[in-house]
Structure 1
Amino acid sequence: MIDHISLAVADLIRSKRFYDACLEPLGIAPDEVSEDSCSYESGGGVDFSIHQVGGRPMILPPPESHYAFVAPTREAVDRFFEAALSAGGRDDGPPGLRPEYHSDYYAAFVVDPDGHRIEAVCHLPDGYPGSGHIR
């Protein structure tokens, strides 16, 4: 359905440090890096990249908008959250079940250094080995 997502960032070095740290627990690593962008590879699915804004003001989406990454386990969600906060992110919802979505929806929300809302979510029951995305 979606091919790729690109986020505008004010400071590529700061944002790369943030995304490198918080996406690593999800199995997502930097792929291609240039002087004004960095793309990330997870081995499948939607491509994700960050691009430094040059000479234009940052315009953020409304606070209801966010970007969710699939986590392979609930532990990976916890590690995502801890890494994001350590790398300059802001808490926007600690790891936990969100039964209003479904009984096994385990997620954490953070705000990146530029104000983008980011989520890591695992749809699997606790202790279930797998990819993190079943329904």
Structure 2
Amino acid sequence: MIDHISLNVSDAKASRVFYESALAPLGYRVLMEFEGVYGLGSQAGPDLWLVPAESPTPVHLALTAESTQQVDDFHRAALAAGGADNGAPGERPHYHPGYYGAFVLDPDGHNLEAVFHGTGK
């Protein structure tokens, strides 16, 4: 089981603003901060860390949603925060029945996804 992940970002303060808004529908918020590093998470504690880096390599990061509505809300919030659409909310049965996700590129080009695994999982 993964405890936490560090995501390299070129501008930690700007990424904090983006991620706070984009992930709010999933229950994420900044829980810890020190020396320009931000730890986001839900009630369980920070599991996503934004860490400054000169040249971040984009990655794909998928976060679990509790409903299709949360996926829709994430997508809307991420776009409003300045993210670029990389896949509108919808079912993706080619992954598996019940897979409902949305994709947004963050300011560094990270492919951020919210996914709900419906009853077809």
Give the alignment's TM-score, normalised by structure 2.
0.90
Q: Letter of the aligned partner of 1:103 in structure 2?
A: P
2:32–2:46 contact (8 Å) kept in structure 1: no
Confirm whether residue 113 of structure 1 aligns to residue 107 of structure 2.
yes
Q: How far, CA to CA, are the matches of 1:85 and 1:21 in structure 2?
A: 10
- Alignment of 1:82 with 2:76, yes or no, is yes
Q: 2:33: which partner in 1?
A: 33
Unaligned runs of 5+ in 2: none
| CA deviation after TM superposition for structure 1 residue 22, in Å | 1.0
1:45–1:68: structure 2 CA closer, same or farther, 3 Å change rule? farther
- Percent identity among equivalent residues? 45
Paired position in structure 2 for 1:22 = 22
Aligned to 2:48: 48
- When the two structures are aligned, how many residues end up with a matched partner? 121
Q: Which has the larger radius of gyration?
A: 1
Return the alpha-carbon distance in structure 1 between the equivalents of residues 91 and 114 of structure 2: 12
Q: What is the CA RMSD across the aligned residues, in angstroms?
A: 1.9
Q: State the distance in 2 between where 1:44 and 1:104 align.
A: 26
Question: In 2, are the aligned partners of 1:108 and 1:120 still within 8 Å (CA)?
Answer: yes
Tell whether 2:57 aligns with 1:60.
yes
C-alpha distance in 2 between matches for 1:81 and 1:19: 12
Task: Give the deviation of 1:87 after TM superposition.
Answer: 0.7
Aligned to 1:130: none
1:43-68 deviation line (CA, Å, top 9, x unaligned): 34981110122xxx31414xxx4110
Which of the pair is proportionally richer in strand? 2
* TM superposition outliers: structure 1 runs of 4+ over 6 Å: none
Structure 1 residue 5 displacement after superposition: 0.7
